[in-house]
Amino acid sequence: MRDTSFADKISQCEVTLQSLESEVPNIPGGETYVAEVRQRVEALRTSQEGVQTLRGQLTEAVIVRRLRNREASASLRHLAAVVRARFGFDNPVIESFNIRSEHRGKKGRKPKVKPTVEQKTA
Protein backbone atom coordinates (compact mmCIF):
# COMPACT_ATOMS: atom_id res chain seq x y z
CA MET A 1 0.00 0.00 0.00
CA ARG A 2 1.32 3.39 -0.96
CA ASP A 3 1.80 5.98 1.76
CA THR A 4 0.19 9.27 0.75
CA SER A 5 0.67 11.30 3.92
CA PHE A 6 2.08 14.80 3.65
CA ALA A 7 5.21 13.74 5.51
CA ASP A 8 5.75 11.03 2.88
CA LYS A 9 5.19 13.50 0.04
CA ILE A 10 7.73 15.89 1.55
CA SER A 11 10.19 13.03 1.94
CA GLN A 12 9.65 11.92 -1.67
CA CYS A 13 10.33 15.45 -2.92
CA GLU A 14 13.56 15.64 -0.92
CA VAL A 15 14.73 12.27 -2.24
CA THR A 16 13.96 13.36 -5.79
CA LEU A 17 15.88 16.60 -5.32
CA GLN A 18 18.88 14.77 -3.85
CA SER A 19 18.99 12.26 -6.67
CA LEU A 20 18.76 15.01 -9.30
CA GLU A 21 21.38 17.19 -7.59
CA SER A 22 24.29 15.92 -9.69
CA GLU A 23 22.32 16.28 -12.95
CA VAL A 24 20.87 19.77 -12.36
CA PRO A 25 23.77 21.60 -14.13
CA ASN A 26 23.11 19.53 -17.28
CA ILE A 27 19.41 20.46 -17.36
CA PRO A 28 18.65 23.80 -19.05
CA GLY A 29 16.99 26.05 -16.44
CA GLY A 30 17.19 23.20 -13.94
CA GLU A 31 18.58 25.32 -11.13
CA THR A 32 15.57 27.63 -11.33
CA TYR A 33 13.14 24.72 -11.12
CA VAL A 34 15.04 23.06 -8.29
CA ALA A 35 15.08 26.30 -6.31
CA GLU A 36 11.34 26.74 -6.84
CA VAL A 37 10.63 23.14 -5.78
CA ARG A 38 12.79 23.52 -2.66
CA GLN A 39 11.01 26.73 -1.73
CA ARG A 40 7.56 25.15 -2.17
CA VAL A 41 8.54 21.97 -0.30
CA GLU A 42 9.82 24.06 2.59
CA ALA A 43 6.52 25.99 2.63
CA LEU A 44 4.66 22.67 2.63
CA ARG A 45 6.80 21.43 5.52
CA THR A 46 6.08 24.59 7.52
CA SER A 47 2.34 24.21 6.87
CA GLN A 48 2.44 20.55 7.88
CA GLU A 49 4.24 21.37 11.13
CA GLY A 50 1.58 24.00 11.86
CA VAL A 51 -1.18 21.46 11.23
CA GLN A 52 0.49 18.93 13.52
CA THR A 53 0.84 21.55 16.26
CA LEU A 54 -2.83 22.53 15.95
CA ARG A 55 -3.87 18.86 15.94
CA GLY A 56 -1.99 18.36 19.21
CA GLN A 57 -3.60 21.45 20.71
CA LEU A 58 -7.03 20.22 19.59
CA THR A 59 -6.47 16.87 21.29
CA GLU A 60 -5.48 18.60 24.51
CA ALA A 61 -8.51 20.92 24.30
CA VAL A 62 -10.87 17.96 23.79
CA ILE A 63 -9.42 16.19 26.83
CA VAL A 64 -9.88 19.32 28.96
CA ARG A 65 -13.42 19.78 27.64
CA ARG A 66 -14.38 16.20 28.54
CA LEU A 67 -12.92 16.63 32.03
CA ARG A 68 -14.82 19.88 32.58
CA ASN A 69 -18.02 18.28 31.28
CA ARG A 70 -17.69 15.44 33.82
CA GLU A 71 -17.03 17.93 36.61
CA ALA A 72 -19.98 20.13 35.61
CA SER A 73 -22.30 17.11 35.33
CA ALA A 74 -21.24 15.84 38.75
CA SER A 75 -21.84 19.28 40.29
CA LEU A 76 -25.24 19.52 38.63
CA ARG A 77 -26.22 16.06 39.91
CA HIS A 78 -25.17 17.09 43.41
CA LEU A 79 -27.21 20.30 43.17
CA ALA A 80 -30.22 18.35 41.88
CA ALA A 81 -29.96 15.95 44.82
CA VAL A 82 -29.89 18.86 47.26
CA VAL A 83 -32.90 20.48 45.57
CA ARG A 84 -34.83 17.18 45.64
CA ALA A 85 -34.04 16.78 49.32
CA ARG A 86 -35.09 20.36 50.07
CA PHE A 87 -38.36 20.46 48.11
CA GLY A 88 -39.27 16.76 48.11
CA PHE A 89 -39.23 14.29 45.26
CA ASP A 90 -42.91 14.67 44.35
CA ASN A 91 -42.98 18.46 44.41
CA PRO A 92 -43.84 19.88 40.95
CA VAL A 93 -41.80 23.00 41.72
CA ILE A 94 -38.55 21.16 41.04
CA GLU A 95 -39.72 20.49 37.46
CA SER A 96 -39.77 24.27 36.94
CA PHE A 97 -36.04 24.30 37.80
CA ASN A 98 -35.48 21.76 35.01
CA ILE A 99 -34.71 19.06 37.56
CA ARG A 100 -36.49 15.75 37.27
CA SER A 101 -38.16 14.28 40.29
CA GLU A 102 -35.98 11.18 39.97
CA HIS A 103 -32.76 10.27 38.24
CA ARG A 104 -33.18 9.49 34.51
CA GLY A 105 -31.26 6.25 34.80
CA LYS A 106 -33.59 4.94 37.44
CA LYS A 107 -36.79 6.11 35.75
CA GLY A 108 -37.27 3.11 33.47
CA ARG A 109 -36.25 0.48 35.96
CA LYS A 110 -38.92 -1.76 37.29
CA PRO A 111 -38.62 -3.52 40.62
CA LYS A 112 -37.63 -7.16 40.43
CA VAL A 113 -40.55 -9.52 40.62
CA LYS A 114 -40.01 -12.09 43.33
CA PRO A 115 -41.35 -15.51 42.43
CA THR A 116 -44.23 -16.61 44.56
CA VAL A 117 -44.35 -19.93 46.37
CA GLU A 118 -46.70 -21.36 43.73
CA GLN A 119 -44.29 -20.48 40.89
CA LYS A 120 -41.36 -22.11 42.71
CA THR A 121 -43.17 -25.43 43.14
CA ALA A 122 -44.47 -25.60 39.57
Angle between helices 30-87 and 6-20 (to 10 degrees): 170
- Region of poorest pLDDT, from 2-11, 37-46, 72-81: 2-11
- Give the pLDDT confidence of 49-77 residue by residue, as tens digits: 999 999 999 999 999 999 999 999 999 99
Number of domains present in the structure of the chain: 1
Cβ atoms of residues 100 and 107 within 8 Å: yes
Give the model's pLDDT for residue 70.
Answer: 96
Give the domain range for residue 72. 6-121
| Residue 1 forms part of a structural domain | no
| Residue 75 forms part of a structural domain | yes
- Give the pLDDT confidence of 71-108 residue by residue, as tens digits: 999 999 999 889 888 888 888 888 888 887 765 665 66
